Amino acid sequence: MAHEHLSRLTLTAVGDLLAVVPYLFGFHPGDSLVIVGLRANTIAVAGRVDLPHRDEIPEWVDGAGPQQLTLLRNVGATAAIIIGYGPATHVTPIIDALTPQVRDAGVTVLDALRVTDGRYYSYLCQEPDCCPVDGVPFDAVGSVAAVWAIVAGQSALPDRAALVASLAPTTGVARDAVTAATRRAQKRRITAFTAGGRAAVLRAGQKAVRETFARYAGDSVLTDDEVAWLSVLLVDTTVRDAAWLATDTDPSHMALWTDLTRRVEPALAAPPATLLALTAWRGGLGALACVALDRALAADPTYFLAQLLDRALRDGLPPTVLDGWPATDNPTPRPPGPGQK
């Protein structure tokens, strides 16, 4: 998903586009297939998937091709640029298979490119003056387009692994402290429920949510016991939805859910990681949202809100599809079955 600021950037050359791509995702793609969809000469969407192994290409094209077309269709893209990152042996078969699919769907393919070792190669341009056989070098870091992206507040990590690592659970002494605090918090929740039922738990959850937002708005963080207490309360979807309603694209909210996602007991990461995904999605940080959803679904593969967001992101839908959720007269959709997801 393209960030709203970057989508307004005028790109006059292929090198400009390639310099901006890492800032659309938050990291420099490698061994990847990227499709940039355009509408009215502006970037409407950008999707990225890992390149498959050679023996997986036919199956990959059958699955990834329709998914990428859905991505373009859902934003009304009328043109696209297809970019493969990696060696020719990996990229060329994918470009050859995917380009006709995009054209057959009525989308104009403006260019199909391969990026290898700081050079780009066009599969469509045969003019040696602008597309020599040995490729065209470009500056992915120091170009005007990259500088503009940085000024707009965007960043690009070295690769996707670095983005994943930025949301990895804390380890060592910090992890042990939260694990012990979580055991205490679970006992505290049982005590609250025994004394006052679910209403008491909800009151505690709403109070914890208010205090948490105030804490991060003041550039402070929760203690280990407060992290643990909030994490066991967020298991209840009503408490989670109260946190959802309080969350927008304020930088302190991104910091809040990032911190919680990293520090909570991994088994309880689904609610905060999903709320981080929502925050990132609303801010145009689709790659970060996807990584956060990976954390959520690793903690609980059946967590329905995470499944819902994952589907929306894969289809390139805008965050506005969830306008009105959650609300007391329009509750968050839930799957059938026991438990609260």
List the domain boundaries for the chain: 4-159, 172-322
Q: Which is higher by pLDDT, 83 or 153?
A: 83
How far is it, in rounded angstroms, from Cα 18 to Cα 154? 15
- Of the candidates 313, 294, 290, which has an alpha carbon nearest to the alpha carbon of residue 303? 294
Residue with structure tokens 């600021």?
5
Least confident of 29-43, 299-313, 314-328: 314-328
Asked if pLDDT for residue 107 goes beyond 80, the answer is yes
Encode pLDDT of 267-295 as tens digits: 999 999 999 999 999 887 888 999 999 99
Q: 172-322 — its CATH code?
A: 1.25.40
Name the residue with higher pLDDT: 39 or 185.
185
Rounded to whole angstroms, what are the CA distances from 141 to 17, 38, 135, 291? 12, 23, 18, 24
d(C-alpha 311, C-alpha 90), whole Å? 27
Q: Report in angstroms the alpha-carbon separations of 82 from 30, 54, 67, 222, 259.
A: 14, 19, 14, 44, 35
Task: Tell me the pLDDT tens digit for each residue of 57-81.
Answer: 888 888 888 888 888 998 889 999 9
In this structure, what DSSP letter does residue 54 have?
Answer: G
Q: Check whether 336 has a pLDDT greater than 80.
A: no
If we measure between CA atoms, which residue out of 127, 35, 121 comes closest to residue 80?
Answer: 35
Measured distance between the N- and C-terminal CA atoms of the chain, rounded to whole angstroms: 26
- pLDDT of residue 252 exceeding 80, the answer is yes
**4-159: CATH, from 1.20.1640.10, 3.40.605.10, 3.30.450.20, 3.40.140.10:** 3.40.140.10
